[in-house]
Amino acid sequence: MEVDARGLSCPQPIIETKKVVDKKVTSLSVLVDNIAAKENVSRFAKAMKYDVVAHVTDYGWKLELEKR
């Protein structure tokens, strides 16, 4: 599963990620293009017990979320 949160203003990246997480998806990636969205989604994912790995891309970051 992939959530494209690029260009969305706060808090939509969290809300769009939450919609997928709520479906009990264990592995997903989230595309973000600004530092606040990266930090917010990472904080949310950790609170939901996901491990987060951030890969730098040309637009910003690709966050890989994996359920612990």
Positions that interact with other proteins (CB under 8 A): 6-12, 14-15, 18, 33-36, 39-40, 43-44, 47-48
Specify the residue, 1 or 35, whose C-beta has the smaller distance to other proteins: 35
| Nearer of residues 47 and 55 to other proteins, judged by Cβ | 47
- Token reading at 30: 């989230």
Please spell the DSSP secondary structure of 44-58, one letter per residue.
Answer: HHHHTTEEEEEEE-S
Contacts of 25 (CB under 8 A, 6+ apart): 1
* Nearer to other proteins (CB atom), residue 33 or residue 64: 33
